[in-house]
Amino acid sequence: MGHLLMIESWVGSMSTLLPQAIRERGDRFSFLTRDLQHYLRAAPNTGHPLLGAANIVAAETNDEVALLPWVRRLHDALEFDGVVSSCDYYLPTVAAVAAELGLPGASREAMAAACDKARTRRICGAAGVPGPEFTLGSDPADLVEAAERIGYPVVVKPVDLCGGMFVRRVHTADELRAAVAEIAGFPVNARGQSRAAQVLVEECLNGPEFSVETVTFGGETAVIGITDKQVIGAPFFIEAGHMFPAALEPDLATRIGDVACAAIAALGLDNTVAHTEIKLTASGPRLVEVNPRPAGNRVTELVRRVTGIDLAAVCADLALGREPELSARPTGVGSAAIAFLVPQESGVLDGITGAQDWPLDPRIVDYDIAMPGKRVEAAHNNNGYLAHVMVVDEKRGAAGDYARTLIDSLRVGYDRVEVSR
């Protein structure tokens, strides 16, 4: 039985899936956090899965220099076999701790580069991985000059945030300056970590978006499959749904997968589950970003329902140095999809109707709907959904449209609508 040290976590689906996968493998984990209340607030009425840890230990996880000797002493007492996290903000720390303790994992340099969007751009660009033209900076005048060279519209994004936060398409110099100022006004992330001052300004890639779910072990990367991503909400980029596997011709799927594998190789990632986003443009697949952890937004669950491969469990296996089992098995499911209800208005929710028949639908395997009284903000990123529904279908390519039809049938009422000024 392996003993994992889990350093922080997301509070969404992976905060359930990863602890569950560890337990189902017959392993155990100790949970290290700087703020246990961060997780308890996310699940105030139920026992949070992270509370199933063998040990819960408080430490300042945002100070890597101080944390490393402290964790070494903890390791002497509790004897860990691996280190893991599902939260992007702590993946470089996980790699540093693994190196410090001589445990399996991706290298510190590779993980740090993959978690920094600017470093990913530079490294992958130098390696010939197709991506957008870009520039990096903090001075608005310099960024406006670069945007004029690249050509509007351009995409403005922070180098070190997740969930689509502060990512937007801009069409003018004034819009660009406003976007840069908005990012600068968010100097500390949700975990209390100071953020980088620089932002990326990139060529706007046009075309459908996909993500490639991969596992790299012993220097070899296996493509588990490709997910179709529905992105809405211009000028923002909000994920409104996913379907696995994407309905692609084999040759095109191979080309998309090859770009993801090239990016992973360029970064030097190993012993890693990765979720790499790709845009299929008129000139071919081009890299958006590499996320060196299992996919969020329940994509990992879609993969499991179709292939039988549990990427959360694979993530734990890699952290323990085990060779992962990646053979797909028959599940009777040809496609699985999730769709999200994205709020278009701000206000206080009165209720959501239209789901009365969902409990009777055998194709629906999971759903959740916000309760009346919830304060709602019009969505600018992936952090404020009002509902989701997950469906499966025996036919390949069929689940996505059905999930979207179900979400589109919902009606949202507000007790009070608030107008943003």
Q: What is the pLDDT of residue 415?
A: 86
pTM for the complete prediction? 0.95
**Listed residue (303, 300, 185, 164) closest to 235, CA to CA:** 164
| CATH numbers and ranges of domains, the chain | 3-103 (3.40.50.20), 132-203 (3.30.1490.20), 205-331 (3.30.470.20), 333-421 (3.30.470.20)
How confident is the model over 110-168, as pLDDT tens digits? 999 999 999 999 999 999 999 999 999 999 999 999 999 999 999 999 999 999 999 99
Q: What is the pLDDT of residue 419?
A: 56
Report d(CA 37, CA 18) in Å as an integer. 19
Q: What is the pLDDT of residue 420?
A: 53
Instruction: Give the residue ranges of the chain where pLDDT is below 50.
Output: 421
Question: Other C-beta atoms within 10 Å of 391: how many?
Answer: 29
Q: What is the residue whose two structure tokens read 């957008």? A: 132
How confident is the model over 250-274, as pLDDT tens digits? 999 999 999 999 999 999 999 999 9
User: Which amino acid is it at 157?
Assistant: K
Q: What is the pLDDT of residue 421?
A: 44
Q: What is the pLDDT of residue 40?
A: 82
Q: What is the residue whose two structure tokens read 């470089």? A: 92
* Strands 3-7 vs 82-84: parallel, antiparallel or unpaired: parallel
Structural contact between residues 33 and 48, judged by C-beta atoms closer than 8 angstroms:
no
**Listed residue (97, 410, 155) closest to 277, CA to CA:** 155
